[in-house]
């Protein structure tokens, strides 16, 4: 059976031709996994975009029955002409593509006249969608070889298939040419062939603050011009109405009436009654702006978007959105994030962790490597702005996912390199114990398992003893004291044992691992507001149970890795005076080596500062300003660690260091904000609301029935559940949709955001 699959026949040849491939479940267009005798969804498929497909993966997938082959976007881009009603138009757009983008030999047809043309991307760019046309690229995939789910027949390559085409033989395009073509081709598509739904794609979403609610009449009018009401479905109509009322309050009623009147089925009386029933809470202008931008709207720089701000023609929120006009490569906000393993010692350390892991966790390996090397660099290197390499990192993954492997490797390598004196204990018993360890070794790494449980105790000021809560207090102070002097506590009795213990330039690095439930359950809103959470880089694994590496076992750290770590610990081998070896005491004055920043890297950090300032102003009054405010600092620390890891003798922070660090910190700060919105609560009632909303959100577009929700939330009383549902529906977070079942109509609950 395996030999009859598309993967078994063509997978190895496609990889040899330079393509990154994926397993496609039979009878679908989606990546899938074959496990325990059945095909299942593969939600983590995007992790394959960060590296080349391995021979082991191809061999494994080839054994899966009926396995099709998908191609990952990034190195390639594919124009999907999703037109089935008009053969002449589909062919016309194909010819236009060949004229504008190049005469590619790679044409794929599934359900004619739909067609797909494949090109090579000069630089990976964000996919562009103007339905029914789409340029698939970074973070996306398409089926190359399988049976089409509608026709039941194989996809056809009329000229040459990718199995016969080396990737280098495809015409090269870039994001700018692709966008220009999509704009030109979309103008040929009549309105009746454009989709009649306003469901947002989510992928590559523009960076519009989630809290952007109040809008202006001029901006809303400009955006709505890109959202014509040509017989839209009911859900889309309601969504726009709710967003309009949230953005403009009652001032939007006439706009909604005029916009609704574009549809022939509009009933003014129903429109007015529906408008009166809207009670939006957190939906508003941001929703309309986001939907319009997805369809090509680009607001003018002088257009005021935020109705809560004064009429300032240069309000920063307008500039933030206007920058979306820039090419994707020039703006880190315009492309989806893809984890890459950096160069230098950080990458070497992370790759060693990945290669030796039974269940590899690349993200956690990178986080542990950054933290470990940051501890070795402590008191030895600094940036021009006097930032140091002290980091607090939390790796989040489920139990049994391999999250402990990175910590074990760090311990082994530090002992092998003779650097174990930089390791703290596996647990921190008290605030005083933490300071004692730092006084003994001012540059130190603590690796803490079950960090969520530790945080739960350290953050609970009502029930935990003071010596435990002091741990988090001391960590907060030490984070900002790395470039100066940490002054110890004063005691009434200074008899020698109670002398104040000062630490010059302490470098405390903490790497913790935990499960999602324990970590988010330990937090309250106050930890977001007071900045405690902002000091941590929170790295949630995208795959709790990665493929098992059965070849893992005995291991020996590479000699180059050991030598590189020793060189960093010796400050690049420069004469270190009283910093040599272990002799640098906690009260010793130290003069770390400065790692200069290249001009283009400095320009990138200046641009980041401008971006963050705009986002801070837009986020004023929300609990997320502390997280936004730390992005620049944490990114600069990561860039320093990358630079020293690449050249410890004479480190220079280059542009690629800056771009990697900024993209990394920005992405996971955004993930943290999203997770806080979904999980962190100050009261039991708020926690229950968020848990119910999360259950509905995870159900996706199909939604859940009331009975399904009841089974998934049995900890709640029926009355409390009903009250929560009413609150979510009135706020516009959830809608109730009637569905025909052949008998009595079923009501399904669906999350709107």
Q: What is the CATH number of the domain that holds 736?
A: 1.10.10
Q: What is the pLDDT of residues 517-569, one digit of tens each?
A: 777 776 665 555 566 778 889 999 887 778 887 777 778 899 999 999 999 99
**What's the structural domain count of the chain?**
4
Q: Is residue 724 part of a domain?
A: yes
Q: What is the mean pLDDT of residues 115-142?
A: 91
Asked if residue 325 has pLDDT above 50, the reply is no
**Whole-number pLDDT of residue 506:** 93
Give residue 600's pLDDT band: very low, low, confident or very high (50, 70, 90).
Answer: very high
Instruction: Grade residue 207 by pLDDT with cuts at 50, 70 and 90.
Output: very low
Please check whether residue 200 lies inside any domain of the structure: no
Q: Are residues 229 and 184 in the same domain?
A: no
Q: Is residue 194 helix, strand or coil? A: coil
* DSSP 8-state class, residue 619: T
593, 610, 642: which is the final residue of a domain? 593
Mean pLDDT over the full length of the chain? 83
Please indicate, yes or no, whether residues 325 and 348 belong to a single structural domain of this protein: no
CATH label of the domain that carries residue 437: 3.40.50
Question: pLDDT value at position 668?
Answer: 92
146 and 228 assigned to the same domain = no
Same structural domain, 242 and 170: no
Given 541, 563, 593, the domain boundary residue is 593
The mean pLDDT of 498-522, rounded to a whole number, is 83
Q: Say how far apart CA 530 and CA 528 lie, in whole Å.
A: 6
Spatial contact of 99 and 37, defined as CB atoms under 8 Å apart? no
Separation between Cα atoms, residue 492 and residue 501, nearest integer Å: 14
> Residue 316's pLDDT band (boundaries 50, 70, 90)?
very low
Residues 256 and 366 both lie in one domain = no
In a domain, 380, yes or no: yes
| pLDDT tens, residue by residue, 701-752 | 778 888 888 888 887 888 888 888 877 776 677 887 766 555 555 678 887 6
Q: What is the mean pLDDT of residues 215-226?
A: 85
pLDDT average, residue stretch 338-354: 92
Q: Is the pLDDT of residue 415 over 90?
A: yes
Q: Is residue 279 part of a domain?
A: yes
Q: Which residue has the higher pLDDT, 351 or 500?
A: 351
In a domain, 630, yes or no: no
pLDDT at 322 over 50: no
- Percent composition of the chain: helix, strand, coil (DSSP 3-state, to 5): 45, 15, 40
**What is the pLDDT at residue 127?**
87
Distance between CA atoms of residues 53 and 140, nearest Å:
16
* pTM for the structure as a whole: 0.56
Contact yes or no for 338/123 (Cβ under 8 A): no
Q: Are residues 31 and 166 in the same domain?
A: yes
| 157 plus 238 within the same structural domain | no
705, β-bridge pairs = 748
- Determine the Cα–Cα distance for residues 119 and 561; give it in Å rounded to an integer: 39
Residue 302's pLDDT is what? 66
Question: Does 371 lie in the same domain as 303?
Answer: no
Q: Is the domain of 367 the same as that of 430?
A: yes
Q: Which pLDDT score is estimated for 584?
A: 60
Start-end of H helices in 379-514: 405-416, 431-440, 451-459, 466-480
pLDDT of residue 319: 38
At residue 462, the 3 state secondary structure works out as: coil
Residue 181 has pLDDT above 80, yes or no: yes
Write down the residue that tokens 């009670």 correspond to: 279
pLDDT of residue 422: 95
Q: What's the pLDDT band for 381 if we cut at 50, 70, 90?
A: very high
Both 411 and 524 in one domain: the answer is yes
* One domain for residues 272 and 373: no
Residue 59 falls within a domain, yes or no? Answer: yes
Predicted pLDDT at 163: 93
Residue 127, domain member (yes or no) = yes
DSSP 283-329: -SHHHHHHHHHHTT----TT----TTS---TT-HHHHHHHGGGS-GG
Structural domain including 109 reads 2-193
* Helical pair 217-224 and 285-294, crossing angle rounded to 10 deg: 30
Per-residue pLDDT tens for 347-375? Answer: 999 999 999 998 899 999 999 999 999 99
Position 431 pLDDT exceeds 80: yes
Whether 675 is in a domain gets the answer no
Query: Rounded distance, CA 107 to CA 170, Å?
Result: 11
Where a domain ends, among 296, 330, 364? Answer: 330
Q: What number is the average pLDDT over the span 2-7? A: 74
Co-location of 499 and 568 in the same domain: yes
């Amino acid at each position: 059976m395996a030999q009859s699959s598309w993967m078994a026949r063509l997978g190895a040849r496609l990889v040899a031709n330079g393509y990154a491939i994926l397993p496609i479940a039979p009878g679908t267009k989606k990546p899938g996994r074959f496990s325990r005798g059945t095909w299942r969804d593969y939600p983590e498929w995007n992790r394959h975009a960060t590296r080349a497909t391995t021979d082991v993966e191809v061999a494994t997938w080839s054994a899966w029955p009926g396995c099709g082959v998908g191609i990952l976007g990034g190195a390639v881009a594919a124009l999907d002409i999703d037109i089935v009603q008009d053969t002449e138009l589909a062919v016309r757009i194909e010819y236009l593509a060949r004229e504008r983008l190049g005469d590619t030999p790679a044409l794929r047809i599934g359900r004619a006249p739909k067609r797909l043309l494949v090109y090579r991307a000069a630089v990976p760019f964000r996919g562009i969608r103007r339905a029914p046309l789409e340029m698939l690229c970074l973070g996306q995939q398409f089926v190359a070889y399988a049976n089409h789910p509608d026709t039941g027949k194989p996809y056809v390559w009329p000229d040459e298939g990718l199995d016969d085409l080396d990737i280098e033989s495809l015409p090269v395009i870039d994001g700018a040419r692709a966008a220009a073509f999509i704009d030109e081709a979309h103008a040929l598509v009549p309105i009746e062939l454009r989709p009649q739904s306003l469901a947002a794609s989510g992928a590559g979403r523009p960076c519009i603050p989630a809290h952007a609610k109040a809008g202006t009449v001029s901006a809303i009018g400009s955006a709505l011009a890109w959202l014509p009401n040509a017989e839209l479905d009911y859900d889309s109509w309601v969504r726009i109405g709710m967003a309009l009322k949230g953005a403009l309050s009652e001032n939007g009623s006439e706009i909604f009436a005029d916009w609704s009147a574009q549809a022939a089925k509009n009933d003014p009386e129903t429109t007015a009654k529906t408008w009166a029933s809207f009670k939006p809470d957190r939906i508003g202008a941001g929703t309309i702006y986001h939907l319009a931008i997805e369809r090509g709207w680009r607001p003018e720089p002088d257009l005021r978007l935020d109705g809560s701000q004064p009429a300032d023609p240069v309000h920063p929120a307008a500039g933030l959105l206007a920058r979306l006009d820039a090419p994707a490569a020039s703006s880190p906000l315009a492309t989806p994030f893809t984890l890459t393993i950096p160069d230098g010692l950080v990458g070497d350390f992370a790759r060693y962790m990945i290669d030796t892991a039974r269940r590899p966790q690349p993200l956690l390996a990178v986080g542990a490597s950054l933290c470990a090397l940051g501890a070795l660099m402590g008191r030895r290197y600094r940036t021009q702005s006097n930032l140091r390499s002290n980091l607090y990192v939390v790796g989040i993954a489920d139990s049994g996912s391999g999250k402990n492997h990175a910590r074990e490797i760090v311990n082994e390598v530090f002992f092998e390199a003779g650097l174990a004196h930089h390791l703290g204990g596996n647990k921190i018993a008290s605030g005083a114990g933490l300071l004692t360890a730092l006084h003994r070794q001012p540059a130190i790494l603590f690796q803490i398992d079950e960090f969520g449980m530790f945080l739960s105790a350290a953050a609970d000021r009502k029930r935990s003893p003071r010596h435990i809560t002091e741990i988090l207090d001391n960590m907060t102070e030490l984070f900002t004291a790395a470039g100066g002097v940490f002054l110890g506590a004063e005691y009434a009795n200074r008899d020698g044992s109670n002398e104040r213990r000062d630490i010059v330039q302490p470098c405390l690095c903490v790497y913790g691992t935990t499960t999602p439930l324990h970590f988010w359950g330990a937090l309250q809103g106050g930890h977001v507001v007071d900045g405690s959470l902002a000091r941590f880089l929170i790295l949630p694994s995208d795959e709790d149970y990665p493929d098992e590496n059965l070849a893992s076992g005995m291991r020996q750290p590479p000699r180059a890795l050991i030598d590189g770590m020793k060189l960093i610990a010796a400050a690049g081998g420069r004469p270190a005076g009283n910093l040599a070896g272990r002799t640098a005491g906690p009260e010793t004055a130290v003069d770390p080596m400065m790692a200069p920043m290249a001009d283009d890297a400095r320009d990138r950090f200046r641009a980041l500062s401008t971006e963050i300032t705009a986002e801070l102003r837009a986020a004023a009054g929300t609990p997320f300003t502390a997280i936004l405010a730390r992005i620049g600092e944490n990114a600069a620390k990561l860039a320093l660690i990358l630079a020293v890891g690449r050249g410890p003798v004479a480190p220079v922070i280059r542009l690629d260091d800056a771009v990697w660090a900024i993209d990394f910190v920005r992405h996971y700060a955004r993930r943290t904000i999203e997770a806080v919105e979904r999980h962190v609560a100050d009261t039991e009632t708020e926690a229950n609301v968020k848990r119910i909303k999360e259950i509905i959100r995870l159900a996706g577009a199909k939604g859940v029935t009331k009975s399904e929700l009841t089974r998934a939330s049995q900890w709640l009383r029926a009355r409390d559940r009903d009250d929560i549902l009413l609150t979510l529906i009135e706020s516009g977070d959830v809608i109730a949709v009637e569905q025909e079942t052949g008998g009595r109509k079923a009501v399904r609950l669906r999350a709107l955001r």
